[in-house]
Structure 1
């Protein structure tokens, strides 16, 4: 029995966690490139990091390499990519990203992380919702367009309008998804039956 259980243990040193580690390095690169005003490089790096987000999760599920480390590390890196980019863009003149926007994004992530820990600690299920996933997509689109406008320096008016539209849409969806998670968490906790 001991040998069988040890043989099915998945090592945290696997391909999915390696891919997540690479995305973490790319996320740090995005933050550094924005700080250095290398907006074109930041855009390319961000697109690579954001577009490969699905790879580690797909590989882990496809080949049975899901680990506790991966379940924590992957969403953590997602938050670093988005929150880091928003925070860095606040300091850039003409980015359109205000400090309160970054605070909303970061605050929502802290709230949802706390709710997830509370619900799953009580034995409930608090998996990411479709609304939360679309929130992530719209945030990435907004960051991408913002970096593109900064890289072009004098973007076309329509591009500026699209960028501002996606940015405000991302903030509104961030708030809405945060409220949705609070409602879900309250329902799960109130319907939770204590274990006997």
Structure 2
């Protein structure tokens, strides 16, 4: 009976993975659409508070699709690929578009290079190791990095608003500190993943 139950659960899991458009994947896709709207708002300029609210909403709903997928057995292969991809599009895209107003946003070219370079390298490294059968799941530093990047981008967007509150010197100082901390944690996270990968390679050679 237990064997039959296990077999049924396995078949249901495989069946759910073959489903393409379910609720979690639809939420993920909607986040991608929101990201495109966000980039237009940044490029057009003048709607900074709206852009900040939209960014916070798109970024904060990241946990929702994953939670629903795991809780209701809706995990799919597409979802596993699409969710982290959309996360990177939202954050890296925001940094890239903010570079267009670098003189006011606090975002510099070297910051964008570090953020995008880290994501590209670690994603490639993860793909390579997982093809080798290695467990290269996300570390706590990666989650902290994502959170700090989102907070820094939010402050950067708000600092572009002409509203007096967001032009206060203390707010701009907080923005700059958050950007620097986010970049430092991004570097730390990248190095941690590299050390983990090196450890996995050494163990596999043994």
Q: Same fold (TM over 0.5)?
A: yes
Instruction: Quote how far apart the aligned CAs of 1:7 are.
Output: 4.8
CA distance in 1, matches of 2:29, 2:117: 24
For residue 118 of structure 1, the aligned residue among 128, 147, 151 is 128
Partner of 1:183: 195
Partner of 1:21: 29
Q: Quote the residue 2:150 is aligned against.
A: 140
Q: Map Cα deviations across residues 67-103 of structure 1 (whole Å, 9 max, x no partner).
A: 1111110000000000000000011131110111101
CA distance in 2, matches of 1:160, 1:144: 12
Q: Match of 2:169?
A: 157
2:73 to 61, 64, 70: 64
> Which residue is equivalent to 1:39?
48
Question: Partners in 2 of 1:163 and 1:52 — Cα distance?
Answer: 23
Rounded to whole Å, the distance in 2 between the matches of 1:57 and 1:48 is 15
Q: Deviations over 1:98-146 (max 9, x none)?
A: 1111011000000110110111000011111000000000000000001
Of 99, 102, 105, the match for 2:115: 105
Which segments of structure 1 move beyond 3 Å, counting only runs of 4 or more?
Answer: 4-8
Higher helix share: 2
How many residue pairs align between the two structures? 193
Q: TM-score of the superposition, structure 1-length normalised?
A: 0.93
Distance 1:94 1:7 in 2: 52
Partner residue, 2:91: 82
Q: Which runs of 5+ in 1 are unaligned?
A: none
